Structure 1
Amino acid sequence: MVVILSFFALFLSLGSLTRGSQSGPDDESYLNSRIKSVVVLVLENRSFDTVAGGFSYSSDIDNLVNKRNYCNPANISASTGGTVCATPTLPNVSVDDPSHSISGNNMEVFGTFHPSDSSPETMQGFVTAQALTYNVNVSLAGQTIQYWNEWDIPVLRTLAQNYVLFDKWFCAVPGPTNPNRAYLTSGTSHGHGKNDLAFNVSAIPQRSIFQQLSENGISWINYSNTSGFLPDALFYSWTASSGATQTNVKTLGQFYMDARAGTLPQFTYINPECCKLQSFHPSSSAYDGQIFLKTIYEALRSSPQWDEMLFIITFDENGGFGDHVPPPVGVPPGDDLTYTEIAPDGKPVTFDFTRLGVRVPALLVSPWVGEGLIEHEGQNNGGVYTHTSIPAFLANLWGLDYLTPRVEFSSTFEHLIQEEKRDTIQTLPMPHVF
């Protein structure tokens, strides 16, 4: 009988973890006493090495300046033609927008449009993919593996140096923007592997974090500066049919007013403009992107809500820009859907949403996190940080269910919330045009 009862107690404890609650210092009450509001800003189309490849303030960062000389062959299928190596020479505005389709990612990561299950992730195909996409010379194609000089991106560098930088955070899909944003906000893209029409007509059917929060009485607003496409909350048919379009989707101007007044909701989700001004997506400039990020941070830092806030910054996908760390395998989202597209060689490519995408920058910003910390692999669940770590954290924060198996797989970061609040910088440096 003792054995049976012990097994039953263990089963109940495992069940409680599946529902998103945890025991000890990471439990819901511990988090709730410190974090009352969460703000998520998802920027566009830059890899980790593009942004943080030159950060020298910590030798613990797995980046280019600390770890290795990273090069790509000019043509991955030819034994001649030379190589291109990464240097801190990426310009303020990238000339071309690299390929970031599923098949393009295959070429960049595996060196072929059609990898097998045993194909090695060489991370050697970024220059080749760019040359094939735009028929450009090696010098221009080589921009895909160059990175920003750390002194040219002082806003990003200062945030990283003052808060928590994740150097093993991977995008959810080795593909474009909207499938990744769907994973971040619902734990699946429902089989979508490209930015197709369904995202622009609120035809994505699955339950999202926005629906989940409303069902649990947790306030949220999607503040958006988008034009020409829908803000992320409006991907979903529930948002359009429930009336939340009118009540929970606001302009970015309203965000600044709400931050100043201390009336931000419990969950704030911010869409930047894309793709010419402030999102970092080519042809957006690094200068304008930093100005935007600076204004968002300073609005939050001066808000009456700052002392109980967690601000999460990430990039939706690498955008075809190079990174030297091979992405891991995750788990599928549980809907058993696949996506097929035609690769540039005219042959079909089918993807089953198991493999994660390339590493992207992610930052945890709050008076409740440490200064200048570097977070590597995750410490719970599947041991991997990816975009679905955000809805997984929200589940643990507010006692919600995990939306999909991918969400349940994703590591969360409660352990980074400290016991004591600390003073934090009020303003970020002004960037310059370079």
Structure 2
Amino acid sequence: MSGFVEQALTMSDKNLSRAVMRGFKPENVPIYATLVREFAVFDRWFCSIPGPTQPNRLFLYSATSHGSTSHIKKQLATGYPQKTIFDSLHENGLDFGIYYQNIPSTLFYRNLRMLKYMFKFHQYDLKFKKDAKNGNLPNLTVIEPRYFGIIGYPANDDHPSHDVADGQKLVKEIYETLRTSPQWNETLFVITYDEHGGFYDHVKTPFGDVPNPDGNTGPAPSFFKFDRLGVRVPTIMVSPWIKKGTVITKPKGPTPNSEFEHSSIPATIKKIFNLTSNFLTHRDAWAGTFEHVVAQLSSPRTDCPEVLPDASPLRSTPTEADETRALSEFQSEVVQLAAVLNGDHFLSSFPHEMGKKMNVKEGHNYVGGAVSRFISASKEAIKLGADESTIVDMRSSLTTRTSVHH
């Protein structure tokens, strides 16, 4: 593996060539260091494609990016049409819940905007701890981090330029909540990243007999065939059924060249819950599964730590969130999503780069209002008897009209 420094040198910030060769010391990420010692870490978990955030996120719950290899704001906002593991769970009478902080980015999947899923979305701060305490967490629980940082509520998604210590605090909070839940002995907590962030890695990306998920190819000029994986990403798994210090390398199948990658998550969910639904794509049918990770012991451990260490800010001079900062690319993408949920994309004056005109605080306020309005309107449509496959089409917040789309 080479080219990391050369690529970084082509960027405007010449310091990147040094940064890409660095990493965090264990004392900088004490939560992860503790969880790795206490539970399991994967040393060959790869991105689904050698590409950026959004395509890899799409693979996580659908085992395909539907031909996407980059960030296409218009398509992201319109919504990707493929079937997801959420749909498979629903078909099999099982439950899922998405606990979000600013906005659920899982709404990039168009199916999840259907009325039948509106009660699956919960505000993290209001519901997660309560549901865990009462033993009411669903079969699949997804926790989305805070993507916008405002004063008093820092972003905790580990995205530059956010402090990784805030991401550590989120993981600590989730773990300690799960640890005291009556569902602890039934829980597998999975922590992973969509892509590697450009940092150096010496392990070659697998490219032998990696199946194209669904026959789609990427756009010109490369026409990527989706026949190789991306760079490794950190993946940690936590459960009282896991031995201390477990390191997982290669999967046990289903094919001799299967690897752990993001499609392993829907593949394993299908296996653990014995779903009768078909595989989502050729990719999750091929990806390695990890159900054996929680089959190491005959009974759950009772020595799992109840409290994790504190995480200190990594910056020498910690500061409050910069609310006036311009939006990052990812933040701009979720603003575009919020604009569709809010109905503002129907306005003739709607700009396709809406986020360029907002700072972080404005983006935070906008997406929060849009999500609240969309979910409220959807729940009202349910009360009025609309079909469960309906997606509410909002009109601009300048009006009060809504319509439904089948």
Q: TM-score, normalised by structure 2?
A: 0.70
Shift of 1:214: 0.7
Residue 363 of structure 1 deviates from its aligned partner by 1.1
Cα distance in 1 for partners of 2:34, 2:122 equals: 29
Tell me which amino acid in the other structure corresponds to 2:287. S
Q: Residue 119 of structure 2 aligns to which amino acid in structure 1?
A: T
Residue 336 of structure 1: CA displacement?
1.4
Partner of 1:384: 259
Q: 1:203 aligns with which of 59, 72, 79?
A: 79
Q: Does 1:432 align with 2:308?
A: no
Partner of 1:248: 120
Alignment deviations for residues 103-134 of structure 1 (CA, whole Å, 9 cap, x no partner): xxxxxxxxxxxxxxxxxxxx221122222122
- State how far apart, in whole Å, the 2-side matches of 1:429 and 1:350 are: 47
Aligned to 2:54: 178
Secondary structure of the residue aligned to 1:145 is coil
The residue number in structure 1 matching 2:338 is: none
1:322 is aligned to 2:197: no
- Once the two structures are superposed, residues 72-121 of structure 1 have per-residue CA deviations (whole angstroms, 9 ceiling, x without a partner) of xxxxxxxxxxxxxxxxxxxxxxxxxxxxxxxxxxxxxxxxxxxxxxxxxx
Please report how far the alpha carbon of residue 333 of structure 1 lies from its aligned counterpart in structure 2 after TM superposition. 3.8
In the alignment, the residues of structure 2 paired with residue 298 and residue 350 of structure 1 have an alpha-carbon distance, to the nearest angstrom, of 45
Distance 1:162 1:202, change over 3 A: farther
Paired letter, 1:314: T
Give SS of 1:363's match: strand
The CA deviation string for residues 292-334 of structure 1, in whole angstroms up to 9 with x for no partner, is 1111111111111111111111111112122111111263344
**2:288 aligned with 1:411:** yes
In structure 1, stretches of 5+ residues that fail to align are 1-122, 342-347
Return the alpha-carbon distance in structure 2 between the equivalents of residues 156 and 391 of structure 1.
24
Match of 2:41 in 1: 165
Choose the corresponding residue for 2:17, options 124, 127, 141. Answer: 141
Shift of 1:203: 2.1
Shift of 1:198: 4.9
Q: Quick one: which of 231, 237, 241 aligns to 1:364?
A: 237
Aligned residues: 300
How far does residue 252 in structure 1 lie from its aligned partner after superposition? 1.2
Q: Conserved in 2, the CA contact under 8 Å of 1:126 and 1:321?
A: yes
Contact residue 169 and residue 385 of structure 1 kept, 8 A: yes
Shift of 1:362: 0.7
Helix, strand or coil at the partner of 2:219: strand
What SS does the aligned partner of 1:351 have? coil
Equivalent residue number for residue 16 of structure 1: none
| CA deviation vs aligned residue, 1:6-48 (integer Å, no higher than 9, x gap) | xxxxxxxxxxxxxxxxxxxxxxxxxxxxxxxxxxxxxxxxxxx
Q: Are the counterparts in 1 of residues 205 and 231 from structure 2 also a CA contact under 8 Å?
A: yes
1:218 aligned partner: 94
User: Using the alignment, how far apart are the partners of 1:148 and 1:275 within structure 2?
Assistant: 23
Residue 176 (structure 2) aligns with: 298
Contact 1:186/1:403 (CA < 8 Å) preserved in 2?
Answer: yes
SS in 2 for 1:288: helix
Q: Secondary structure at the match of 2:79?
A: coil
How does the TM-score come out when normalised to structure 1? 0.66
Partner secondary structure for residue 133 of structure 1: coil
When residues 190 and 365 of structure 1 are mapped into structure 2, their CA distance, relative to the original with a 3 A threshold, is same
Counterpart in the other structure of 1:339: 218
Q: Which residue is equivalent to 1:393?
A: 268
Offset of 1:231 from its aligned partner? Answer: 2.0
Q: Is the 8 A contact 1:187 1:333 kept in 2?
A: no
| Contact 2:212-2:225 within 8 A present in 1 as well | no
CA distance in 1, matches of 2:206, 2:148: 28
Aligned partners of 2:77 and 2:108 also within 8 Å: yes
Matched, 1:422 2:301: yes
Does the aligned pair in 2 maintain the 1:275–1:282 contact within 8 Å?
no
Equivalent residue for 1:193? 69
